[in-house]
Chain A
Amino acid sequence: MTDNSLDVRALQFSGVISRLRRLDASMLLWLALIALLAFLVLNPVLRLIISSLQEIDSGRFTLANYRVAYGNVRHLQSLTNSLELGVGVALLATCFGVPIAWAISRTDMPGKAFVRLMVFAAFVTPPYLGAIGWILLAGPNSGWLNKVWMALTGAGHGIFNVYSMTGLILVIAVTSFPYTFVFTSSALDLVSSEMEDAANILGARTLRTTLRITLPLVTPAIIGGVIISFLEAIALFGAPALIALPARFNVVSTQLWQFFEYPVRVEEAAAYAMPLLAITVLMFWLQRSLLGRKGYTSVTGKGGERRMIALGAWRWVMLGYALFVCALSVFLPMLVLLQAAFAKAWGRGFSIDNLTFHNFYYLLVEQTQAKQTILNTFVYSGVTAFAAISLSLAIAYVVSRKLVPWSNVLAFLCVAPFVVPGIVLAIGFYAAYAPPPLALYGTATILILGFTTRFLPIAYTSSAAGLRSINPEMEEAVRILGGSRLLAIRKVLIPLLKKSLAGAWILVFIPATRELSSAIFLVGPNTRVISVMLFDLSEEGNFEVLSALGVILLIATVAIAGIGSKIIGRDFMLRRN
């Protein structure tokens, strides 16, 4: 009796030992990654929620913050303004992005390469820079468009007023429609023409087929685009600060800024920010329930050729529309920004004696911070991109190969930051890591950490997509020959994924260079980035220098992205040929 039980226990014990021995070194690596994820995502968000319930300075539990945050009518008004803004931008960005995506992906519209380039240019442009451009274009008395109108019609004042909710919606929509465009067009690229042919041969012509078959097939992508535009819009800080304030209304992000005036009231800010979080979660839940049982991808594998629909004379109409959108988002703002960048006094207009290089000279030579700021921006964005891609690739690997239990929780955590508007995330980071013991205030570290978390969802989605395309059997072949998992990753997986990773790198790098909403809370005097500097410059109305800095930002970003995509050899904006 006793002997038996001893034997049993000895067996169990040796079983545990042998299992521990079989623990691959990589397992420990995975656990470290998970801890990192908790640090980056869970902690700031939790700190935020906890802060909102804490009394200032004492830390006791209280609901007072919510009362202060929402007891004021103006604060509530800001919330509804944000919602209005979000919905408006989402709708407008969809109206811009979807038809162009359809035209490029499925029809024989001419000039596709040019339109794509313009969409990319819109993507690279930060919304606050676009806002400046539109202020120069559509300021009610001084904007160029209004001046032209007044000259043509002899009216006393112009008809466009950028300082309005409509103006703000337009300004943001023209820089966010690239998201709706990319989502929709990459989904449309996957729709087999046979879907359209089937409707065609049953008697449906092009428009009806498009509206009843083609577009409904990419509903998830369109809804994804709508949600992203909505979330972007309500989280933005720069463009609303420039346009909403003079228009005498506030949105949540500008209102949050006020909580950071002296004395800094992180707790009230956190309480005020909670609804933004709630709204975002609601959006994603809505998306899930809307899409439900219906499948959207083609069910069978074979037969997926995509042919362009011949539009006849209508292709010029589509091109006209695409160019109109490009004019609003790129041509017009760029034109005025360039004019201001090379002007002594932009208000004096286009004249030879108003031309100067001094603004660039001032920035690159005289202004002490500008050079450092420019360098900071690109270094931080680059490091962020590397960090985000590395982390997300590791997590995506763990999830897709199911290396730990509950790996789906990891995936959720990677994508969760999407749910937190940038400005709110920054507050969370500030609450969690700025003060002692970590005391990361004003360091490059906190900025990079904040950015990495902010862009982790994009990085993760790209990495996961890339991994999905690789057959696990590639690694299994290495392992059965005696190589470890890490070896398989190093020698097989990474080389295979190079192109897709490089594309993902750019997809993180570019938004990081233009990020303002989270940067504004996390920068210190030595870690300023271009976006914050532009914002500060806008405060003193130095549009000439500001435009010059904006031009530098745009040129450098486009150059880097251009070089990048040449290296990758394909359009990183997810185009399939």
Chain B
Amino acid sequence: MSRLKLSGLSKRYGGFLAVDGIDLELQNGEFVSLLGPSGCGKTTTLRMIAGFVDPSLGTIEMDGQVLSSPAGSVPPDRRQMSMIFQSYAIWPNMTVEQNVAFGLELRRIPNAEVKRRVGEMLEVVHMSHLADRYPAELSGGQQQRVALARSIVIRPSVLLLDEPLSNLDATLREEMRFEIRRLHDEFRVTTVYVTHDQAEAMVTSDRIAVMNHGRIEQVDHPRALYNKPKTRFVAGFIGRTNFIEGTSNGHEISFDGFALPRSAFERDVPSQGTVVFSVRPHSMRLSDVPPTVRDGCSSVGVTVVERAFLGEHWDYVVKPREGALTLKVTTSPLDDFPIGATAWLEFEPRQMASIA
């Protein structure tokens, strides 16, 4: 039985449909992200899971029991869940220790036990030496840890996180991503993580649900999402990509300025009609000599239109000699092609994903 199950979950505010028919199942101990741009409905979904918002349609079940439905919901204080808020919501008038102990004290756990568990938890998040501090005396990252400790110490059945890293600077964010994943692995809590940052989602999650306009476009493991995006939105949201449109005539797919044999493609590409492909910038190679014909690859001559050096790689914009198409290509920092130079662009159709 799945730990958490969302079935046909919808939320309507007046005329506006914020969440539109979400179906999602989480297994015990799984870490799933809800990823999407602002306004896609991810936070509303999270708040419905928490019980702060009632659904207009659909249900939320945990361990087979219905928690939320249009008819009524179990209130948040009785769901045995935990939540980390965007603002952390650490209570500034209590010390770190008091904050973390709050949930335990509510459960009438004896004082000695509370002290022990709080102490352990603070060790785990490396905050023991700051137990007596007040939140105003802590840095952003430290407050984040307090929030985590407070949520996890009560052993929730589900942990919810609402864009917890958006207030931190880049380095801290990287560090905390790993920290969150580490804590998840240590305690194996079923986790739902809401974010708009794809890097966060990729690093922390077992699976990612990409949301747009209230719907889930695709749920998959991070690699599958990246390599095999099913929709244009997912392809464009996760990593950078080129969209190219081709017409299939049975043998080959003709694009603007070049053509590729249909047999080279891995999956079944329709024999008729137009197909759109997502081509990742690093899935193509740029060389100054025509590449040897290899199995499954095709190449085309191009001119370099723009370029930018980013340290770890070169970003090139190239244009095939015929046609108006431009393509973004990423190469190693050593491949230096001046603007206006001619080169050969090699495609690897196996890495080209056809999208609806």
Please list the residues of chain A having a beta carbon within 8 angstroms of any beta carbon in chain B.
192, 194-195, 197-205, 208, 213, 216-217, 219, 293-304
Contact = CB atoms under 8 A, between A and B. Distances in A.
A259 B304 CA distance: 97
Interface in B146-181: 150-151, 154, 166-167
Interface of B: 50-52, 75-79, 81-83, 85-93, 102-103, 106-107, 134-137, 140, 143, 150-151, 154, 166-167
Looking at A208, A216, A303, the one whose CB has the most chain B CB atoms below 10 A away is A303
Given A202-B106, A202-B150, 17 more contacts: A192-B89, A194-B86, A194-B89, A200-B77, A201-B83, A202-B102, A202-B103, A202-B151, A203-B103, A296-B93, A298-B87, A298-B92, A299-B90, A299-B136, A302-B86, A302-B87, A302-B167
B107 A299 contact: no
B232 to A, nearest CB: 31
A214 B88 CA distance: 16
A300 B143 contact: yes
A227 B136 CA distance: 25
A217 B151 CA distance: 20
Which of B50, B81, B82, B91 lies at the interface centre, i.e. has the most chain A CB atoms within 10 A of its CB?
Answer: B91
Contacts of B83: 197-198, 201
Contacts of A195: 89, 91
8 tightest Cβ-Cβ pairs between the two chains A and B: A295-B136, A303-B87, A202-B103, A303-B86, A198-B89, A295-B92, A194-B89, A194-B85
Contacts, number: 101
A525 to B, nearest CB: 54
Contacts of B75: 200, 205
A208 B108 CA distance: 14
A-side interface mostly: loop
8 contacts: A192-B89, A198-B91, A203-B107, A204-B102, A293-B134, A294-B134, A295-B135, A303-B87
B87 A202 contact: no
Residue from the set A197, A201, A202, A304 with the largest chain B CB neighbour count within 10 Å: A201
Contacts of A200: 52, 75-77
A120 B78 CA distance: 40
Contact of B52 (A197, A203, A208, A294): A197
Contacts of A208: 106
Contacts of B107: 203
Contacts of A201: 50-51, 76-77, 79, 81-83
A201 B152 CA distance: 12
Nearest to B47: A197
Contacts of B81: 201
Most chain A CB atoms below 10 A, which of B50, B87, B140: B87
A202 to B, nearest CB: 4
B239 to A, nearest CB: 26
A215 to B, nearest CB: 10
B352 to A, nearest CB: 40
A198 B143 CA distance: 14
B87 A216 contact: no
